[in-house]
Amino acid sequence: MKLRTLFVGAVVVAAALAGTPAARGSDRLRHIVLEEVLSIGGLNEETLFQWTGVAADDEGFIYVLDAMDYSLKKFDVRGKLLKKTGGKGQGPGEFMAPRLLDGSGDSLYATDQNIAAIFVFDRNLEFKRMIPCPSLIEHLKALGDGRVAVSVLGFQEPGRILILNGEGKLLSELAYADKGSGPLMDSISFVPDGRGHFYLAYLFQDRVEKWTVEGKRLWGAKLLGGKKTGTKKIASFVLPGETCLKGIALDGRGHVFVLGGRLAKNPSRDVFVLSQDGELLTTCTLPDTSHCLYIDRAHFLYARGDDGITLKKYRIVYE
């Protein structure tokens, strides 16, 4: 009798727990903590000077683009520099202003701010080829199977995400932006979820969105209370001033991580964590300002330290 009572009680408790938000997929998240597990570079080393792009592979190797010495670097899991390539120039594999980096399979995809093409390296940092792109690249993500997604900078045109194959052929296009929103107002960081969706964070608008690859907007969210960026005039152009959001990334559980920009409460440090449905679940704050967020497949989050001379790797602890 006592055993039966105990069993029934356990079932009741389990049923009650199953009904709580804590047990409903990504909605269960209430709090996260970032634990620093690795720091690369820093004041006492000469490995990083102004890193701009980062990617990590499944074996834990970390790849970093450095704009100050025009290089692509490879580090092991302990942060030891294994190899460096690139250099300043316009020859094969050389950079003038390296910026974005992503990886998929054996390939690393890098961009140069002033070149309308994607540099392809292998994981041993050997330059392989260029993928031509119709315009300068604002953001880049590898999609697998040799495909890449890029958002392109059209100064007077609405923003678009282009999906290109390995030869640069346009496979599909996502026109996400409003017409006439103004120069650079369509600038985004984006991340695909691998299931036919794109998450977008607007750099100069308080706006996060989820789209299907076919071009249907599923939801939109504001994270900064609808703050609007100011403007500044450069020559005859009126351009947006400070950033609202800076970057977006997905963890393996489907949570959407958005880095707040200069207009966030803690500028360039606040991280907003959303569910796949756009619900704000929790926030956390980076110890140092960052220009981007990257999350690898093992749930490690990478961000900037010391204005770009340090790369920080954090374990995401879910509570």
Asked if 288 is part of the footprint of another protein (rule: CB under 8 A), the reply reads no
Residue position matching structure tokens 């900037």: 304
Asked if 287 is part of the footprint of another protein (rule: CB under 8 A), the reply reads no
Q: Is residue 155 classed as helix, strand or coil in its secondary structure?
A: coil
261-266, long-range: CB < 8 A, 24+ apart? 261/203, 263/206, 263/224, 263/227, 263/229, 264/223, 264/224
Residue with smaller CB distance to another protein, 71 or 187: 71
Asked if 69 is part of the footprint of another protein (rule: CB under 8 A), the reply reads yes
Residue 52 CA to residue 42 CA, distance in Å, equals 15
Residue with smaller CB distance to another protein, 44 or 156: 44
Binding mask 250-269 for another protein (x = CB under 8 A): --------------------
Residue with smaller CB distance to another protein, 116 or 218: 116
To another protein, the closest distance from the beta carbon of 264 in angstroms equals 19
Q: Nearest CA to 145 among 173, 161, 166? A: 166
CA torsion, ordered 100, 105, 106, 109, to nearest 10 deg: -20
Asked if 155 is part of the footprint of another protein (rule: CB under 8 A), the reply reads no
Asked if 68 is part of the footprint of another protein (rule: CB under 8 A), the reply reads yes
Residue 241 CA to residue 232 CA, distance in Å, equals 6
Q: Find the binding residues for another protein in span 90-109 (CB under 8 A).
A: 97
Q: Is residue 9 classed as helix, strand or coil in its secondary structure?
A: helix
Asked if 50 is part of the footprint of another protein (rule: CB under 8 A), the reply reads yes
Asked if 81 is part of the footprint of another protein (rule: CB under 8 A), the reply reads no
To another protein, the closest distance from the beta carbon of 18 in angstroms equals 49
Question: Segment contacting another protein (CB under 8 A): 66-74, 126-134, 216-224, 241-249?
Answer: 66-74
Phi first, then psi: what are they for 141, rounded to 5°?
A: -145, 135
Asked if 71 is part of the footprint of another protein (rule: CB under 8 A), the reply reads yes
Residue 178 CA to residue 18 CA, distance in Å, equals 42
Question: Segment contacting another protein (CB under 8 A): 42-50, 145-153, 208-216, 250-258?
Answer: 42-50
To another protein, the closest distance from the beta carbon of 65 in angstroms equals 11
Residue with smaller CB distance to another protein, 52 or 229: 52
Asked if 234 is part of the footprint of another protein (rule: CB under 8 A), the reply reads no
Site size toward another protein, by CB under 8 A: 19
Three-state SS for 72-127 is EEEECCCCCEEEEEECECCCCCCECCEEEEEEECCEEEEEECCCCEEEEEECCCCE
Core vs surface per residue 93-110: b (16+ CB within 10 A) or e: bbbeebbbbbbbeebbbb
Q: Find the binding residues for another protein in span 295-314 (CB under 8 A).
A: 306-309
CB atoms within 10 A of CB 134: 14
Asked if 241 is part of the footprint of another protein (rule: CB under 8 A), the reply reads no
Asked if 67 is part of the footprint of another protein (rule: CB under 8 A), the reply reads yes
Which positions touch another protein (CB under 8 A)?
Answer: 43, 46, 49-50, 52, 66-71, 87-88, 97, 113, 306-309
